Amino acid sequence: MPDLRYIYASVARLVSNPPNPWDSVHAEWLGEPPEAKVEVFEEEARTVLAENDSPDVGFRFSLNPYRGCFHGCAYCYARPSHQYLGFGAGTDFERKIVVKTNAPECLRRELARPSWRGETIAFSGNTDCYQPLEAVYRLTRRCLDVCADFRNPVAVITKGSLVRRDAELLARMSRDTAVSVTVSIAFADDRVARALEPGTGPPSQRFETVRMLSAAGVRTGVSIAPTIPGLNDSDVAELLGRAREAGARFAFQTLVRLPAEVLPVFEERLREAYPGRADKVLHAIEDVRNGKRNESAFGKRMTGIGPRWEAIASLFELECRRLGLNAERENEGRSGFRRPSRQASLFADSP
């Protein structure tokens, strides 16, 4: 088998002096940025829309302007995807970030095709579209501008506070088509989150993001993703209550996924952060995975089995009903998709 590193090196260009996202007025890290040497690779993608046929996720098409993610969440199921580039699933995933510099142009071409029917596009189906480099590359913003031109429905999933920058645009888009922003918040305590999500803003700031977007008129929700039995399943009620208070209208949860390349990263960081609690957490995961730490079968990867998982899922559903989350569906499936006129397309990317 050929060495993918050399094949990939011919496509992506290493940026010797990458831009510093914390020099921007729209800083993603609220406070001092963590120390980490970041290598940025720029590439020109052939396509940016990925089609998904897995029953485990709720979208068909996704867009990821970046490969790899500085957020560095220990449990991230996307880590193995970095190995297709010849990189590692551990620290390489967090520090070797690939930037699809032509993502907006690719997206415009793809939406203009006669075969495109205006399906919802999920931003961040794999890695976070509002990670720090977005502050300077602005690829997510420019892709949203394209979707606005076509009135194409979008569903954003992020942990990044930088989404606040685009609140006005998202609110304006929502008047023409279906728009939602899901903020991923798995932990109620800022310190617990920092141990396993070292490159993200704390949960308290993410709830503020929900509040600001909701106030701007954007349909918002939260994902308790992942739910980690023995670690954050006791946070479910508090997280949902704080989300509703911040203006969220919907919520969902997924069970932690630990495929082969993710498990050692997660276990190492879990033991480092909680040495006296790690075994309990791992046993709890096995308890809802029929003795395993991961389930790879389609249709079963995001949920568990057994009494413990049933209790977690029941608590989640009861709290959602009590709080009125997931009660309205008026925005789902709505699409105002239309192709802009040729003249509008010519000037859409102009400054």
Q: Report the interhelical angle of 236-245 vs 203-216 (nearest 10°).
A: 30
- Residue range 66-103, pLDDT digits in tens: 999 999 999 999 999 998 888 998 999 999 999 999 99
Q: Which residue has the higher pLDDT, 229 or 57?
A: 229
Q: Cis omega (within 30 of 0) on the bond before 18?
A: no
pLDDT at 34: 53
Give alpha helix (H) positions in the chain: 4-9, 91-95, 103-112, 134-137, 139-150, 167-173, 190-196, 203-216, 236-245, 263-273, 278-288, 306-323, 342-347
Q: Residue 92 and residue 234: Cα distance in Å, rounded?
A: 32
CATH of domain 4-327: 3.20.20.70
Specify which residues 158 forms β-bridges with.
Answer: 183
When pLDDT is cut at 50, 70 and 90, the band that residue 52 belongs to is confident
Phi/psi of residue 345, each to 5°? -65, -35
pLDDT at 343: 46
C-beta separation of 179 from 218 below 8 A: yes
What's the mean per-residue pLDDT of the chain? 88
- The amino acid at 276: G
When pLDDT is cut at 50, 70 and 90, the band that residue 59 belongs to is confident
pLDDT at 73: 96
C-beta separation of 61 from 124 below 8 A: no
Specify which residues 157 forms β-bridges with.
Answer: 182
- Residue range 187-206, pLDDT digits in tens: 999 999 999 999 999 999 99
